Amino acid sequence: MRFLLVFGLILLVFSLGIHTVVVQSMSRLFGVPCPWGWLFLLVALSAANFVAVMWQSALTWNTGVRLWFVLTIYYVGILWILFAVSLGYALLRGVMHFTAPLPPRVVQVLVIGSAVGLVGYSLVHARQVTVKTIEVSSAKISAPLTLVQLTDLHLGAVHGEGFVARLVAQTNALKPDLVVLTGDLVDKGTTPEMLARFAQLKAPAFFVWGNHDDFLSREQVAQVFRKTPIQILTNQVVLFRDTVQIVGLDYLMPQPKPDPRPILTRLALQQTYFTLLLSHSPIDFDRLDGQPIDLQLAGHTHAGQIFPFDLLVRLFYPRFSGLYTSGTSALYVSSGTGTWGPPMRLGSRNELTVVRLLPQASGAPPFTARQLD
């Protein structure tokens, strides 16, 4: 609760700051004054609308609420991009102090053109899912295994059955031995029909809960997944092909520094197996001290999703995207297969992660990990 309050306060301050920068920049750009009273009114209305739509969507979900919700999240996404453009505009004005100034009309066209172009790009970019590949070699692996990680799909208001169908087809085309889903499949507006599309997966799969996965009851999700290849792991460990020890952690609080050690100690992990830890949010290496975790797969951060929001995310999650190693352990944080809130990506990308687990070559170190793309 403390983390949520602090995070909410930071977001409120950021909202005030972002609105101020954007409104004041546009006011300067077009020579239209904006009194502070009007600015504070805009921020208050924006915050009130956001709280209201989140509250209402938690109570009921229908076509009208979905439209309200979608318009609100698009407003948030466009606001962030306008903030980035405003920072660029401020930089341009700084440069023009030392060079010949551009005509006001040219500056207006540049700024507005940049805003429109970035919004359009972010919308199109967010529809693409990039395949990223990492290789992990270990003396504990006797035969090659390929797994695919999907995470943070946020099915519901924006991403629906068609999105799931495309991802399942893309996953099946990679012919993995195993699929892992590291949370936040469910969001506002998710229906059982959307989740049922995972029945087309052609490989066994394991799922762990994320912080958004309570928009459907756990029993509803479990009931749908019984008809799919997906097994839910809730603070459990299973052995896959007598080689890989898979640990599935439930979403842990407090964030961003949860402590899984009591759970892992209770599970009594075996040192002889390659241990794969599935966690929705990334867990720092020092929180796994003494546990035989070879590879951790996580998501949650979305790599910030829309610049410059990534600067805020980095404050909470220094290991917020990509591959990290420490000794004989590795952590991979996916930037997410879908999007949270606005279906927009700027400075990040949707990804489907392929993980190749390989036997270690003779004479090589007992453990290596590398990102191929």
HSE-CB of 114 using CA atoms within 13 angstroms:
15
Q: Read off the pLDDT of each residue in 308-328 and give the average, rounded to a whole number.
A: 90
- Give the best-scoring range by mean pLDDT among 57-61, 332-336, 358-362: 332-336
Lowest mean pLDDT among 29-33, 107-111, 123-127, 297-301: 29-33
Q: The domain containing residue 264 runs over which residues? A: 130-371
Scanning the structure block, which residue is given the tokens 């301050």? 13
Q: Is the dihedral of CA 303, 336, 255, 248 positive or negative?
A: negative
Scanning the structure block, which residue is given the tokens 């949650």? 300
Q: Are residues 161 and 118 in the same domain?
A: no
Q: Read out DSSP for 49-78?
A: HHHHHHHHHHH---HHHHHHHHHHHHHHHH
175: pLDDT strictly greater than 60:
yes
Q: Are residues 73 and 147 in the same domain?
A: no
Q: Are residues 98 and 215 in the same domain?
A: no
CA 231 to chain centre: 22
Q: Are residues 226 and 303 in the same domain?
A: yes
Q: Read off the pLDDT of each residue in 257-262 and give the average, rounded to a whole number.
A: 86
Q: Are residues 365 and 327 in the same domain?
A: yes
Q: Which of 64, 92, 125 is the last residue of a domain?
A: 125
Q: For the beta carbon of residue 301, count every other beta carbon within 10 angstroms.
A: 24
pLDDT value at position 9?
67
Q: Read off the pLDDT of each residue in 127-151 and give the average, rounded to a whole number.
A: 96
Lowest mean pLDDT among 6-15, 232-241, 338-347, 348-357: 6-15
* Confidence bin at 373 (pLDDT 50/70/90): confident
Q: Which of 69, 104, 125 is the last residue of a domain?
A: 125
Q: Are residues 86 and 137 in the same domain?
A: no
151 vs 286, more confident: 151
pLDDT value at position 365?
85
Q: Read off the pLDDT of each residue in 102-118 and give the average, rounded to a whole number.
A: 92
The Cα–Cα gap between 56 and 60 comes to 6
Q: Is the dihedral of CA 218, 221, 225, 230 positive or negative?
A: negative
Mean pLDDT score of the chain, rounded to an integer?
Answer: 91
Q: Is the dihedral of CA 201, 207, 211, 213 positive or negative?
A: positive
Q: Read out DSSP for 129-188?
A: EEEEEEEEEETT-SS-EEEEEE----BTTTB-HHHHHHHHHHHHHT--SEEEE-S--B-T
* Confidence bin at 225 (pLDDT 50/70/90): very high
Q: Read off the pLDDT of each residue in 78-92 and give the average, rounded to a whole number.
A: 91
* Confidence bin at 59 (pLDDT 50/70/90): confident
Scanning the structure block, which residue is given the tokens 């990308």? 349
pLDDT value at position 101?
80
Lowest mean pLDDT among 97-106, 108-117, 276-285: 97-106
Q: Are residues 107 and 255 in the same domain?
A: no
Q: Read off the pLDDT of each residue in 227-247 and give the average, rounded to a whole number.
A: 96
141: pLDDT strictly greater than 60:
yes
Rounded to two decimals, the pTM is 0.91
Q: Are residues 314 and 194 in the same domain?
A: yes
Q: Are residues 31 and 118 in the same domain?
A: yes
Q: Read off the pLDDT of each residue in 331-349 and give the average, rounded to a whole number.
A: 95
CATH number at residue 211: 3.60.21.10
pLDDT value at position 2?
58
Q: Which of 104, 125, 146 is the last residue of a domain?
A: 125
**343: preceding bond cis by omega (within 30 degrees):** no
pLDDT value at position 5?
62
pLDDT value at position 13?
74
**How many domains does one find in the chain?**
2
Q: Are residues 87 and 161 in the same domain?
A: no
Residue 354's DSSP bridge partners are 133, 148
Q: Are residues 171 and 34 in the same domain?
A: no
Scanning the structure block, which residue is given the tokens 């693409």? 128
Q: Are residues 240 and 362 in the same domain?
A: yes
